[in-house]
Amino acid sequence: MIKVLITEDSPVVRGYLKYILGQDPDIQVVGTAQDGEEAVRMVEMHKPDVVTMDIHMPKMDGFEATRRIMESNPVPIVIVSASWNPEEVDKTFRTMEAGAVAALEKPRGMGHPNSESSVKELLQTVKLMSEVKVVRRWSKYKTAKPGAPEPPSPSAEPGIRARPDTQLVAVGASTGGPMVLQTLLASLPKDFPLPVVIVQHIALGFLAGLRDWLGRSASMPVHIAEDKQQLVNSHIYLAPDGFQMGIDRYRKVTLQKDVPGYTLCPSVSYMFKSVAESFGDRAIGVLLTGMGRDGAEEMRLMKEKGALTVAQDKESSVVHGMPGEAIRLGGATFILPPEKIAGKLVDLASGARREGK
Instruction: Report angle CA 107, 255, 262 to the nearest 5 degrees.
Output: 60
Radius of gyration of the chain (CA): 20
Q: Give the span between the Cα atoms of 317 and 204, in whole angstroms.
A: 23
Residue 174's SS3 state is coil
Q: Where in the sequence numbering do the catalytic residues fall? A: 174, 201, 294
- Asked if 106 and 82 touch (Cβ cutoff 8 Å), the reply is yes
CA-nearest of 61, 127, 123 to 92 is: 61
Q: Kindly list the strands in the beta sheet with 236-238, ordered across the sheet, starting from the edge strand earlier in the chain.
A: 222-224, 236-238, 196-200, 168-173, 283-287, 308-312, 334-336
Query: For 23-61, where are the alpha helices, taking DSSP H only?
Result: 36-46
Give, to the nearest 10 degrees, the angle between helix 86-97 and helix 207-217: 50
